Each structure stands twice: as structure tokens, then as C-alpha cells.
């Protein structure tokens, strides 16, 4: 009898990221103008303010409600660094829409997350003996994040 994995997740292979119209997908970004070969993407998550609603008549424990606005967080990407890349040009054009597309899972539609905007806020490079040169880029998300399932 064949083993069937539970439908609880998928790997990140084939995930793509487009920032300001520039693809950071290794299959599409081969010209070396910014960076190629993203190896990981970490999203800090959404945060919302918690507003205290406790008053003199509140008993037992403090009470809270969410604020009206949320902070969409930031994306931190690890990538294989191309030393021919013009990082300063990337910072000069460091604002744009952010589109993160996850691969199809088991024949279902791919999920596409789009942020209204993003700002490149950091870029560091790591060079070590007998290792690939790597870099870390940080994009601060700005505005609403929408999730859309693409058609199969």
C-alpha cells in the first residue's frame, strides 16, 4: 500500500518574488542586474496595535481591542550574491509593488500575495572561504496585503 502524505503543507520550491517589476525568481532573473537565486524568504508577519479598553468598572482582567490599522511586516530574503549586481541602482529604485507567488499544491491553484508597496530597507553581503557569496535583502511592506488564488 502506497503512503499518502497528509494535506498539511508543501515545500517552498517554485515560489517566486517580484519586487517593483523585477523578478527575483531564479528561473527568470538571469541577467544579474539585481540578484538571482533566492534561497529563502522569511515574512515577519502582520502586527496590529492592541488598544486597552479597560475602565474603572472592569473586573478581573484588563480588556483590549484591535486597532484599525495593521503593519504588514517585512520580507527578509537570503540569496546567492552576484558581485556584478548594481546594488546602489537597486536602492535608487527601491520602491514598488511586491508579489509573492507560491507554487500549486496538489493540482490546486497557486496562492498569490500582493502588497500595495514595498521599500528596500537593507542589503548585506556575506563572503566566506569555500562558500558561495550570499546576501540578505530586507523589504518593508507598505499598504494592504491581498491574497488571490490563481486559476489552474
List, for residues 4-57, the tens digit of each pLDDT value: 544 555 666 667 677 666 655 544 444 444 445 778 888 898 899 999 999 999
Residue-wise pLDDT for 70-128, tens only, equals 999 998 988 888 777 666 665 556 677 777 777 665 555 567 777 778 888 888 889 99
Q: Residue 58: inside a domain, yes or no? A: no
Containing structural domain, residue 127: 16-44+69-149
> Residue 73's closest CA among 148, 149, 143?
143
Q: Residue 74: inside a domain, yes or no? A: yes
Q: Residue 130: inside a domain, yes or no? A: yes
Q: What residues have CB less than 8 Å from 62, skipping those under 6 apart?
A: 52, 54
Does this model's pTM top 0.75? My answer is no
Query: CB–CB of 100/147 below 8 Å?
Result: no
Q: Coil, strand, or helix at residue 89?
A: helix
Q: Residue 81: inside a domain, yes or no? A: yes
- Whole-number Å distance between alpha carbons of 128 and 91: 24
Domain count, the chain: 1
Q: Residue 109: inside a domain, yes or no? A: yes
Amino acid at each position: 500500500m502506497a503512503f499518502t502524505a497528509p494535506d498539511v503543507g508543501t515545500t517552498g520550491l517554485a515560489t517566486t518574488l517580484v519586487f517593483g517589476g523585477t523578478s527575483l525568481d531564479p528561473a527568470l532573473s538571469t541577467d544579474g542586474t539585481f540578484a538571482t537565486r533566492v534561497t529563502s524568504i522569511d515574512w515577519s508577519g502582520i502586527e496590529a496595535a492592541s488598544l486597552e479598553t479597560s475602565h474603572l468598572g472592569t473586573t478581573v482582567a484588563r480588556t483590549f481591542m484591535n486597532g484599525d490599522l495593521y503593519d504588514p511586516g517585512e520580507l527578509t530574503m537570503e540569496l546567492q550574491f552576484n558581485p556584478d549586481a548594481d546594488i546602489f541602482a537597486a536602492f535608487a529604485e527601491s520602491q514598488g509593488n511586491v508579489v509573492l507567488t507560491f507554487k500549486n499544491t496538489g493540482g490546486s491553484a497557486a496562492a498569490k500575495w500582493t502588497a500595495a508597496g514595498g521599500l528596500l530597507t537593507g542589503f548585506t553581503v556575506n563572503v566566506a572561504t569555500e562558500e558561495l557569496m550570499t546576501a540578505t535583502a530586507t523589504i518593508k511592506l507598505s499598504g494592504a496585503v491581498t491574497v488571490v488564488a490563481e486559476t489552474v
